[in-house]
Structure 1
Amino acid sequence: MVTVLSTRVHDQLIHVKFLHHVSDKIVSVTFIYGSNDGAEREGLWDELRQIALTVDEWIILGDFNIVSDVEERIGPNPPSLTEILAFNQCLLDSNLDDLQCFGCEYTWTSKREVETRIWSKLDRVLANPFWLIQYPNTHVTILPPGISDHSPLLVQIQKNFQIRKTFSYLNCWEDSQDYDSIVSQAWDLPVKGSAMYKLFAKLKNVRHALIKLHKRDCSGLSGQIKQLKNGLEICQQ
């Protein structure tokens, strides 16, 4: 199914490149175990920025030991805003965003007495746009922690992988009287998720709407083009 092509080891991550035989694509997976020390995590952020320059389809998961927003933590001792900003800047520089998640809201708890207990979202699964395009049906389920203080992350990818045909935009679609309304309605469909996921989902909705428009108004277009090409060849001969 997959072949390991290369491995990159850092004190806070393991980065692996695989050859996915079904799609014949090289995919990159990075496993994270972030330091408890904010200064040491700066080295992790720099490493991720370097990896981002060398990958196409990329998914990254694990314990980052930092939240991306103050609302991702409940309890005493609020997180450092400076460290949160450093984490978010790394994600922005590396073109990474959270995958859609289901299940538990927080992934770690200190398991102390209720009055001093802390809940945080320290574990997460991120991906870049290339991953979303190639594997759009990737979902993450945050499972109950059980006896551990961390919740397991279950990543599921569409089982039956299909290589999709390249989508090409045709200018003739704009000749349709209801072209503008079709595109607007598809774009305005409500979508939940991260900013990157919303953009990807909206573009996907517009794509499906344009395909329906093509079938309705231009279903015989390929045949007409073929006939014209054959006629041109006859004339040239």
Structure 2
Amino acid sequence: MMRRKELFEMDSRGDYFTWSNKRIVGTIYSRIDRVLGNVDWSQAQLNTTIKILPPSVSDHALLYLSNHVPPRHVHRFQFINCIMWAEGYKDVVKSCWDLPLEGSTMFVLWKKLRRLQPVLRKLNKPLICAKQNISKAISNLIKA
């Protein structure tokens, strides 16, 4: 039936067995509790993990399904003053700034700055790399 419905058992972490009879003598362990999924669900839920927790009061283990999305690392924008003397700086800023926008004054300002940020990042990148190389060279000279 599982093949017909294209279901499969999802991978899990933790204990292998999900049930025990909780007897001291003649203990029986079994894996009777499972999480099933299909390809579509699995692809839509890429960050889903299943952890089998140790049983406590019940004779069944708790299957903990978590859809943890790792936090995005946000790179802060760094404006380097010497970028103003880069070739084409004024033209790039002017062309980006002059595009029309409607809304409140603060909204327009915010949107224009947001629109300008990726353009300035491209101009900034070689300068930031040069700045990092200079910092590394200075620290190497100090160590030597």
Ranked by relative contact order (alpha carbons within 8 Å, sequence separation 6 or more), the top structure is: 2
Relative to the length of structure 1, the TM-score reads 0.28
Please say which structure displays the higher CA radius of gyration. Answer: 2
- Indicate the structure with greater strand content: 1
